[in-house]
Amino acid sequence: MNQINWFNFVDLEYWFEGVAGSTAITSPLTVNTIYYQFFVVLFGVLFGLGVILFFSKNFFNKYNPLNTKMEVWGNNFVWMGLLGGLWLFLRQAEVGFLGARMWLLVGVFWMLVLIFIIVKYFLYVYPLERAYFLKHHKTEK
């Protein structure tokens, strides 16, 4: 089993090896390791979650407040899965700049921002939209 060198996470050369001006080439992940399998599963789950969210709008009432939001979130997760899979492929192909670890940091930042937006929406905005939807839906009948 591979040991994680935690000091690499604070070393800038670790994150930016393989980018323009760097002397190191990004090393590919070994296919049999848990890290490679984790990334394959992670990017597959993100892509699958995005497809499910994108098409789930068809199962809601057209006036449901989640309709437009789920499509946007689904698009974001689909792109995360596709770009993450592309990053993993480029990493395995040892493409220096596009396979660099810094793109993983960009993707993690993107995912954290999206998760923050989703949580904020469900905590503050969705209860108000749902109450309005239920009130308006009851008066329609």
pLDDT in tens, 1-44: 567 777 777 777 777 776 655 555 666 677 777 888 888 999 99
Q: Which of 74, 34, 38 is nearest to 58 (CA)?
A: 74
Query: With contact defined as beta carbons under 8 Å apart, do 39 and 15 qualify?
Result: no
Token couple for 74: 């689904």
Query: With contact defined as beta carbons under 8 Å apart, do 129 and 63 qualify?
Result: no
Taking the CA atoms of residue 34, residue 36, residue 42 and residue 48 in that order, the dihedral angle to the nearest 10 degrees is -120
pTM attached to this predicted model:
0.76
Q: In the chain, where are the structural domains located? A: 28-140
* pLDDT tens profile 62-85: 777 788 888 889 999 999 999 999
Cα–Cα distance measured from residue 70 to residue 26, given in angstroms and rounded to the nearest whole number = 36
